[in-house]
Amino acid sequence: MNLLILGRGKTGSLVAEVARERHHHIQIAGAKENADCAALTPENLRTIDAVIDFTTPHAVLANIEACVQAGKDMVVGTTGWHNEIPRIRALVEQHRTGFVFAANFSIGVNLFFDIARTAAAALRHDYTGQIFERHHIHKKDAPSGTAIAIQQVIREANSVGADAFVRPVERSETSGAAKDLEITSFREGEVVGLHEIVLESAAGRIYLCHDAKSRRGFAEGAVRAAEWLVGKKGFFDFKDIWREL
Ligand SMILES: NC(=O)c1ccc[n+]([C@@H]2O[C@H](COP(=O)([O-])OP(=O)(O)OC[C@H]3O[C@@H](n4cnc5c(N)ncnc54)[C@H](OP(=O)(O)O)[C@@H]3O)[C@@H](O)[C@H]2O)c1
């Protein structure tokens, strides 16, 4: 494939390495080359099959808008924009492009989401829970997109209708909605990404942890998502498609 990688940072440069190893042709644009989306004109994108974005929460939305409006498929790893998902989904559907995003492109973390979904049942049996995340001091957003995704997976697992035997989870007194697990963020040294779920009752404690050892898993997941996207149209969350890779 002809891939354009946005971001020459810690993850973008690894994505380029993995893409080369998988025999793709790549171009890379960092902040300088892509100021005001200069690398994303229809002319520059003409020969590109898909664009992979690992930039910053500040830059990503303009990049997405430029690529989708030019009709290009995209894989977006950058976090910190997911409150805009409904608007971006509509844009992708309007322009009939292919789009995969992820809070986390590692296979291990996506399996961890499934484990969290199962563990969420504890909250219907007198357990309370918390989420902890640790990342390097350079990370720009907090809480991490992965921690928010874990929180969402647990919320959805416990929402009415998710289980025929649902018992009321902890309910907020005012809204009656299930309360989300609290997320606590730590920024320390060069930690790649550590996520913990702790579920606790008077009877016992469940402790679940995913500790990323390197960024390579993110890069491999993103490149494989771009390969998977060939010939597909629509807006996809990696956590729903990773088993198809
Ligand atoms: N979904 C996942 O699996 C996953 C995994 C890891 C990281 N992430 C997310 O991916 C993003 C990048 O993480 P990182 O650790 O690689 O950060 P990083 O090392 O700080 O790299 C970000 C890069 O983006 C470049 N950039 C900024 N604006 C740009 C623009 N308009 N066009 C092109 N490039 C631009 C910067 O270039 P300069 O150096 O020239 O300023 C920088 O090199 C973050 O949001 C992070 O949370 C997601």
In this model, does residue 229 exceed pLDDT 50? yes
Backbone angles phi, psi at 164, to 5 degrees: -65, -20
Per-residue model confidence (pLDDT) at position 177 = 52
Question: What pTM does this model have?
Answer: 0.91
pLDDT digits (tens, 9 = 90+) for 2-53: 999 999 999 999 999 999 999 999 999 999 999 999 999 999 999 999 999 9
Mind listing the pLDDT tens digit for each residue in 194-212? 999 999 999 999 999 999 9
Residue 166's pLDDT band (cuts 50, 70, 90):
very low
**Is 135 a residue of the active site?**
yes
Give me the catalytic one of 24, 72, 135, 239: 135
What is the rounded average pLDDT of the residues 94-122? 97
**Over the stretch 44-95, which tens digit does the pLDDT of each residue have?**
999 999 999 999 999 999 999 999 999 999 999 999 999 999 999 999 999 9
Cβ(8) – ligand 1 distance below 6 Å: yes
For residue 12, the CA-to-ligand 1 centroid distance in Å is 7
Provide, rounded to the nearest whole percent, the portion of the chain with pLDDT above 90: 91
pLDDT-based confidence at 217, cuts 50/70/90?
A: very high
What pLDDT, on a 0 to 100 scale, did the predictor assign at position 167? 43
Please indicate whether residue 12, judged by its CB atom, sits closer than 6 Å to ligand 1: yes
Give the model's confidence band at 169: pLDDT under 50 very low, under 70 low, under 90 confident, else very high: very low
**Given a cut of 80, is residue 174 above it in pLDDT?**
no
The pLDDT score that the predictor gives to residue 179 is 81
* CA 33 to centroid of ligand 1, rounded, Å: 14
> Catalytic: 139?
yes
97 CB within 6 A, ligand 1: no
pLDDT band per the 50, 70, 90 thresholds, residue 230 = very high
pLDDT for the residue numbered 141:
92
Averaged pLDDT, 134-161? 92
